[in-house]
Amino acid sequence: MALMLAPLMAGLLTGCSVIPEGEPVRLFTLPVPTLPASTEAPRALTLRVDTPGAGAPLDGRRLLVMPSPGELQAYAGARWRDDAPRLLRDHLIEAFRLDGRLAAVVDDTSRAQSAASLTSYLGAFHVRYREGVPEVVVRLEVQLLDEASREVRASRRFETVEESGGDGLEAVVAAFGRAADRLAVEVVDWTLARVAGPSS
């Protein structure tokens, strides 16, 4: 009996659904940010956006779901195209660039000099169920640092919750995109209100 149950349990632990062995993994990414461009002149300032820190399993590529409080599982047969922290970092950078109020925005792999940097910790990037309805939760603890002194200029917790239109992967990924967009708008506006730099 134990030998018969072992393969079944292994399959169930892979995620929310069981897929046939050998089925290809579907790769997903966040949609391009939909932020409108600002009408303000860009400031002569370069901002560095660091990759958020994260603990396991948020630091991986699995699409996570919390079917009950304190329990994390992963959607079977689905992955993000990159680790979730880098995925969100790239989304934020693209949002800053689309906004256009900064002369340049770079990531933590760039050798360019910057006046300020945005560091963060990813506390939530998953689907949860509330009264049977799936919703995406994205939570980011953000610190704005002065690059020269490394002093913290400001810090804030951002959290967005976006209801999914269904349980399917396409609906869930779309909800992740909307949640990331809302978070990006808040982070961009909050950061721009706290960095100094003359308009060019």
Q: Which two tokens stand for residue 53?
A: 């820190």
Mean pLDDT of the chain: 87
The pLDDT assigned to 197 comes to 61
Residues in the chain predicted with pLDDT less than 50, given as ranges, are 1-21, 200
For residues 15 and 29, give the distance between their C-alpha atoms in angstroms, rounded to a whole number: 19
Q: What domains can you pick out in the chain, each with its CATH number?
A: 65-102+115-194 (3.40.50.10610)
The pLDDT assigned to 12 comes to 36
Task: Give the amino acid at 92.
Answer: L
- Is residue 38 within 8 A of residue 28, CB to CB? The reply is no
Q: Pairing state of beta strands 116-130 and 133-146?
A: antiparallel
Q: Which two tokens stand for residue 49?
A: 């956006």
- Is residue 165 within 8 A of residue 171, CB to CB? The reply is yes
DSSP state of 174: H
pLDDT in tens, 8-29: 334 334 444 443 445 679 999 9
